[in-house]
Amino acid sequence: MQNVIHGGRPPERAVIGSVVRAGDVLRLIARGRRTLRVKEVAVALRLQRSTAYRYLASLAEAGFLVRHEGDVSYSAGPLLVELAAATLTDSELIDVATPLMTRLAEDVQESILLSVWGDRAPVVVRVQMDATRLLHVAVRVGRSLPLESAQGRTFLAYMQPPSERDHLLGQLPAAVRDEVTAQLDVIRTTRLALFSRVSEGTRSIATPVFDSAGRVAATVAIVGTTARIAADRMSGMAQALLEAGHEISTRLGASIALDMD
């Protein structure tokens, strides 16, 4: 006779204890622990250290965690990050944005990133690269971006309520916070954000994507080298990005004017 479940918990024998325990380990990261160590997991979950180690090692082998050799700690792995990104993504957004990102990548011959807001930072949910170029600035799907990135600045510029924005800005070093804050009005006016990592030779430009309610649903960005991307909001590349963001927004039902002046 089969067990019938009526909206409650599954029968006890249907639960695999080791899977539940693995979920408990991953939940520690979900609750804000950026790294995990064997001793910490053992204490938090009341496990033997050898058992905690086996869970961490197994989750790393499966891609849910990644092991850092230097201090023998573990953090979110590529599979876990990709799963998180997938849950954040509206399928309509991806369907609408992908062909326009492809066209933009071909026009500017650089990497194009679509990002949505995660828990406390932008998360990359789609990457489109121009197939004709051999070298690109590579960014993986699921990666969390810094608040001071072009994408982070864009989300901060439009974030409501302002108290949430101020709370996030307060987590940045004072000099970075002041520089980002000074740019927010410019970003709202031009709908373009710039960010350069001079030491690494990379630069990104981002623009918001609005939904039918006028909220920022995502950002679309061009990412490349400082040699190829000018720090100029009036450049042809920046204006092409602005047009792409506007077209994606319009197809999502947003009613916004495109000011190219």
The pLDDT tens digits for 44-75 are: 999 999 999 999 999 999 888 888 876 678 88
What is the C-alpha separation between 95 and 204, in angstroms, rounded? 23
Q: Which amino acid is at 57?
A: A
The pLDDT tens digits for 132-184 are: 766 667 777 878 899 999 999 999 999 988 898 999 999 899 999 999 999 99
Q: Which amino acid is at 23?
A: G
Residues 6+ apart with CB under 8 A from 170: 177
The pLDDT tens digits for 34-52 are: 788 999 999 999 999 999 9
- CA angle in degrees (0–180, nearest 5) for 147-150-151: 70
**How do beta strands 122-128 and 111-117 pair?**
antiparallel
CA gyration radius for the chain? 21
The pLDDT tens digits for 83-120 are: 766 665 667 888 899 999 999 999 999 999 999 887 67
For residue 197, the surrounding DSSP H or E stretch is: strand 193-197
Question: How far apart, in Å, do the first and last CA atoms of the chain sit?
Answer: 72
In this model, does residue 7 exceed pLDDT 70? no
User: What is the CB neighbour count within 10 angstroms for residue 39?
Assistant: 11
For the question of whether the overall pTM of this predicted structure is more than 0.85, the answer is no
What is the C-alpha separation between 251 and 56, in angstroms, rounded? 44
pLDDT of residue 137: 72
Q: Which amino acid is at 223?
A: V
Residues 6+ apart with CB under 8 A from 214: 254, 255, 256
Q: Domains in the chain, please, with CATH?
A: 12-76 (1.10.10.10), 86-251 (3.30.450.40)
